[in-house]
Structure 1
């Protein structure tokens, strides 16, 4: 609906005071907001004042027609370009969103006060018309500002996460030397905890489902250690550095499994300083592999839990010959599965049979067949050590 001549006349009387009103907003109206006083003076006097001046002129132009300083140009009511640009700047500088939005709300109130102050007796109806226009345009501006701010913050946080992931990957892979300045960005200066996470059988999922699962896993890690865990996660598990001298909770695998919906195993290695993290990451990954090869159930694993198996899995000149001991049963997956399960259940034939859904006699027959084909006495300590080493070495060879 077109505004009355009285409303246009009332708004026109504010035009000479635009600069003064903008300065007053930036230096007086907004000062009452928590945190605003800490902003640099140039931000207040230049950018925020300029944004306030733009908002007032935009309102007056909408009421009275094109800006006389810009001949022939009429701004669309939905054009929020400058507001969006300023919102992106404030997001990059770290100004809280609530503070930014409150400056816009206070700006509207300051403009209403200015209109009220120049209104004359008998212009109450004209003042109501102008307030209607002012309040009608405010939601669109606030929406544009909030949307741009959140988009910018999301982009900045994604960039920061990508940079952090690159730093963590470089550290775990040994590309960051001790004492490097990048370690300060990761808050690594003393003892830390290195974890390897694994899922035995990752499901086939789309990228959205994977990202949601990894976010839940990250949340559990952060809550478990009371600090942001530096994690490199993927669909199969991942590697994690906890930047503090922490002890992993015994129920951590259960909590991770509940959050992810998958059975997860965790290997943990403590280090005294960041220079040991690369080696600890390799050790944790190897512990995880060994627990899988030996058929240990998912849970929390440390080096002491697989100390013998870890030693036996170290390759040397004898490794190919030891790995070859199981060549005769390499094409018999049911025999290898029985052997792994038997070792994982401390060579208890009944427990092995229950785990495989077999009769104990079937287990005995399969073990006898393995002994016959390989020539290894599975009932002797030496034979048990040989098959454990052979399984580990064959797995490490691919």
Structure 2
């Protein structure tokens, strides 16, 4: 006798947990169309006939799942012979009895079809997951500094993406990641290795050093208007972990400073980024200007320098013209101070 294929055995095994539901469907819906079935006592329909249907389904599916020949055994036949004798004693017509068996077989086929569909979709999902992991693996290894680095050649544009809010897991997150991955591939015209989770992640683009002009709009269309992208460059693939950390920090600092969603670049938050590097003296430095709170005065500055107040204004305007720094703002004034402090050090 022909043996069942492994696929057929797996199909039967997938259907076996549904035996109870299939038996209830047979006795409560399908058999109701048989002439005379509705007049049977509820105990016979809901208990005895349901048990017979369940026994037959489970025996068939277990035999198939085990790869055994699909032929009735002596014990199996005895069970149904006993039930047939019981139905005869109850006066149930033979036509009705046989109708339950033939109708029951028709219920099994849709269940098998559903199982085939599920198996197919599971297979597709597994293939997609494997393909996605093949694309994530180089990004994960490079971002963790684990190599091998020959999978991605430098220089590498490291794109950090921060979603507006952390996304929950499940289907919604998978859909979001798929949209963002598709947008990355579209922007750069190639399959982009990326590692994304509920808060965002990183993408690596070999041979590129800057985001295309249209990148932000395309990525926000996929991830939402609150997406914050930042780009850094790793000249060597070994530098990718550091570049990724810098990109993450750029976005963190930009958010903390209240900047509108980017794209963000290091120059946009240069001073803030520098000052956010904590050190043993950070708290003491931050407290140095406390005595000056509310005491800044243009005329007092002019008196201290021995100048007319208009001269102070002129010189401030000239500095702005030459450097682009507006010393009337706290940020640019602090940036100028940092430049003065670092300048001699860099020259040496």
The TM-score bracket by the shorter chain reads 0.3 to 0.5
Q: TM-score, normalised by structure 1?
A: 0.42
Q: Based on CA coordinates, which of the two structures has the bigger radius of gyration?
A: 2
TM-score normalized by the length of structure 2 = 0.48
